[in-house]
């Protein structure tokens, strides 16, 4: 079933792994000297899932990606791709990767670089298609060392597509891309994933994870601290604080309101922590007409990560790729 000029994958190149997983990480640990970068990661990704690794600087996202690509060996635990060791999947051309660092080979044009890379693979995607999907037609003749940061990122994306992989791993792919290029990149990535491929990408941005992934895995301090849909992760960090002077109110009455999770009294003001600040505000205005000096603030991402790090519950992993593209 070919619906466009792009080749459309209808079935994986070879059968699924015996256990059915595209990616399976079990009990992974990795330290660098005294830095415990990855401290016990267990994760199973089904074929066709689009998964985001979300976490702050130094969380262990890149180290986990390096382990699953076989670029680094774990201290303990295993990384499997389609049931085999990472090297086997990589040499079979089943994995494409866009890493956070690494220079592009210099003194070549973009087209030459993609061609050389394609020649290394047994069943590469046609060079023209990889360039089209990555949106680099317009810079095909430019020397790699003269590319802007965002252009270089697009070339890296094309290189990740060249093996025509079943799994593509992208470490902070949109860094240095402007808003429009970012939008095109994600559209292209979703189109690529729609053919049944598995995508795993790392990001710092909850919004990016929620918009483009079916499943968000939050990593902090080398561990998975939450795993669920973007909506379920957002619900846990989207709390707001409404603070105001509220004559006639009491802590007890405020606590009894719907979606209120906590109430503090600070310097004659109430700080009402809640999930739905719009609803709480409407109710407060109706009940306490004297309310004044109202401020509503949202937890920033740092606070959100702290909040998630502090909470012990981990959502049941979603294994279906249910969210519409
Ligand atoms: N080769 C290395 N040698 C020493 N320490 C390292 C090495 N690679 C990573 N680390 C350390 O391991 C921890 C995890 O790093 P990692 O790069 O995996 O984080 P990250 O989540 O990808 O962060 P970022 O969002 O900044 O890319 C950090 O404390 C980092 O300093
Ligand atoms: Mg990183």
Hey, what are 149's tokens? 């940061």
- What does the DSSP assignment read for 197-241? -EEEEEES-HHHHHHH-SEEEEEETTEEEEEE-HHHHHHHH--EE
CA of 57 to the centre of ligand 2 (A): 7
Q: Are residues 134 and 259 in the same domain?
A: no
Tell me how far the alpha carbon of residue 101 lies from the centroid of ligand 2, in angstroms.
9
Atom of ligand 1 nearest to the CA of 219: 21
Q: Whose CA is nearest to atom 25 of ligand 1?
A: 57
Q: Which of 234, 260, 280 is the last residue of a domain?
A: 234
Domain assignment present for 306: no
Model pLDDT for residues 168-225, shown as the tens digit of each residue: 999 999 988 999 999 999 999 999 999 889 999 999 888 889 899 999 999 989 999 8
pLDDT at 281: 96
- Out of 234, 261, 278, pick the residue that ends a domain: 234
How far apart CA 214 and CA 167 sit, in angstroms, is: 15
287 inside domain = yes
Domain of residue 179 covers 23-234
* Regions of the chain short of the pLDDT cut 50: 1-16, 311-325
pTM over 0.85? The answer is: no
φ, ψ (nearest 5 deg) of residue 166: -85, -25
Identify which of 31, 32, 53 to mutate to test ligand 1's pocket (most ligand atoms within 8 A of the CB). 32
- Number of independent structural domains in the chain: 2
From the CA of 63, give the closest atom in ligand 1: 18
């Amino acid at each position: 079933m070919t619906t466009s000029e792009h080749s459309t994958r209808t079935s994986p190149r070879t059968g699924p792994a015996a256990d059915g997983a595209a990616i399976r990480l079990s009990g992974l640990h990795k330290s660098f000297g005294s830095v415990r970068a990855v401290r016990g990661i267990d994760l199973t990704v089904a074929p066709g899932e689009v998964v985001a690794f979300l976490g702050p600087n130094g969380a262990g996202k890149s180290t986990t990606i390096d382990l699953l690509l076989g670029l680094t060996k774990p201290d303990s635990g295993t990384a499997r791709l389609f049931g085999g060791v990472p090297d086997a999947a990589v040499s079979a051309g089943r994995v494409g990767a866009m890493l956070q660092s690494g220079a592009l080979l210099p003194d070549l044009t973009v087209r030459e670089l993609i061609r050389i890379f394609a020649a290394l693979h047994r069943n590469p995607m046609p060079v023209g298609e990889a360039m089209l999907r990555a949106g680099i037609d317009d810079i095909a003749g430019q020397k790699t060392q003269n590319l802007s940061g965002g252009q270089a990122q697009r070339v890296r994306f094309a290189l990740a597509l060249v093996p025509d992989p079943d799994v593509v791993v992208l470490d902070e792919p949109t860094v240095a891309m402007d808003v429009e290029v970012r939008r095109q990149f994600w559209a292209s990535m979703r189109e690529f994933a729609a053919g049944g491929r598995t995508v795993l990408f790392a990001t710092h941005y909850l919004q990016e994870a929620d918009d483009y992934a079916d499943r968000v895995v939050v990593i902090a301090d080398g561990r998975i601290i939450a795993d669920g849909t973007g909506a379920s992760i957002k619900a846990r960090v989207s709390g707001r604080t409404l603070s105001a002077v509220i004559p006639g109110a009491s802590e007890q009455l405020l606590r009894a309101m719907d979606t209120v999770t906590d109430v503090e009294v600070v310097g004659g003001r109430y700080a009402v922590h809640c999930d739905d600040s719009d609803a709480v505000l409407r109710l407060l205005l109706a009940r306490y007409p004297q309310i004044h000096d109202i401020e509503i603030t949202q937890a920033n991402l740092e606070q959100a990560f702290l909040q998630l790090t502090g909470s012990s519950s981990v959502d049941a992993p979603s294994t279906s790729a249910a969210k519409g593209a």
